[in-house]
Amino acid sequence: MPAVVKAFIERHIEHIKYPSKKSEIVAACAGMAEIPKADKEWIEQNLPDGNYKSADEVIRALKL
């Protein structure tokens, strides 16, 4: 994943309310018009199921 996309995703997932399950994170991203569709799909495909307590946990899970 390009560094620009990584920075973009990191900035936007900071605004999600935590703790959140994968399904909640995916739904929140789906509602963010500024995130490209391809990035939303990438998050959905690459984020393991789980309950995340922070954006940092999501970033680590996505291996960004």
Q: In this predicted model, what pLDDT tens digit does every residue of 2-52 receive, in sequence order? A: 565 677 777 778 888 899 999 999 999 888 888 888 888 888 999 999 999
The answer to whether the CB of 16 falls within 8 A of the CB of 50 is no
For residue 51, which of 61, 43, 40, 37 has the smallest C-alpha distance? Answer: 61
12-26 pLDDT per residue, tens: 788 888 999 999 999
pTM: predicted TM-score of the whole model, two decimal places: 0.82
Q: Cα–Cα distance between 7 and 49 in angstroms, integer?
A: 22
Q: Cα–Cα distance between 25 and 22 in angstroms, integer?
A: 5
Rounded to a whole number of angstroms, the distance between the first and last alpha carbons of the chain is 8
Q: Cα–Cα distance between 14 and 37 in angstroms, integer?
A: 18
